[in-house]
Amino acid sequence: MSAACRTIEIPLEPLTADSFAPFGTLIESLSEEPRAESDVFHMVELPFSVDGTPDLRIAHYPVQDMCFSRFERHLTMTESRVALGQAVVLITAGDTPLDDRRTLPDTNSVRALLMNGNQGVLFKRGAWHGLDCYPVNGHPADFAFFTERESEDELLEVSDVDALDRSHMVDFAESCGIVFRVSDPLGLMQSIQLK
């Protein structure tokens, strides 16, 4: 990222069903839900869908500086990331028209959400999200990553983002000289590290 870029601070907030609702569905343990019949088998269906081949992968995120500018969204699938024990910061951004690959999400819509290590998310189709997740406790983080094989292959094989059919990508640093940096005014990362 260029040193000449303007930096916008994004305050970290907790990941809750309400905070994630504009971007998709929060995945949490069903044992957290209050139920009178807690000893009864219970299952909830999630709105996972792909136009192509469903694919399950493990995604590994190294510890890195919480400064970012690149976002992607997928047009042919919902995408799910389920944390495998590590707390991370997840980046999201607001909607833009699905048929428009050039319009950047509003900078005021960019959010940094703290996944506590026992949560997952299911991004709706077309939801902008950061390419990376950011571990908060000094150790890399792994996710169960439910995705679409054709989209992942396209992202690996096609170098020209304007030639992508199944996804859109934007880079605020290249497009308008802006980078984002996560701030933590509420001390949420420290509270996770102390647990």
Within-domain flag for 147? yes
Indicate if the alpha-carbon torsion angle 76, 171, 85, 26 is positive or negative.
negative
Higher pLDDT, 17 or 35: 17
Whether 4 shows a pLDDT value over 90: the answer reads no
Within-domain flag for 36? no
Structural domain span for residue 186: 6-29+51-193
In this predicted model, what pLDDT tens digit does every residue of 86-136 receive, in sequence order?
999 999 999 999 888 888 899 999 999 999 888 999 999 999 999 999 999
Within-domain flag for 25? yes
Q: How many domains does the chain have?
A: 1
Within-domain flag for 34? no
Element of type H or E holding 174: helix 172-176
Determine the Cα–Cα distance for residues 23 and 21; give it in Å rounded to an integer.
5
Whether 39 shows a pLDDT value over 80: the answer reads no
- Please report the pLDDT score of residue 43 as a whole number: 75
- Please report the pLDDT score of residue 46 as a whole number: 84
Of 29, 16, 27, 13, which Cα lies nearest the Cα of 121? 27
For residues 51-74, b (16+ Cβ closer than 10 Å) or e, as one string? Answer: ebeebeeeeebeeeebebbbbbbb
The CATH number of residue 155's host domain is 2.60.120.480
Within-domain flag for 14? yes
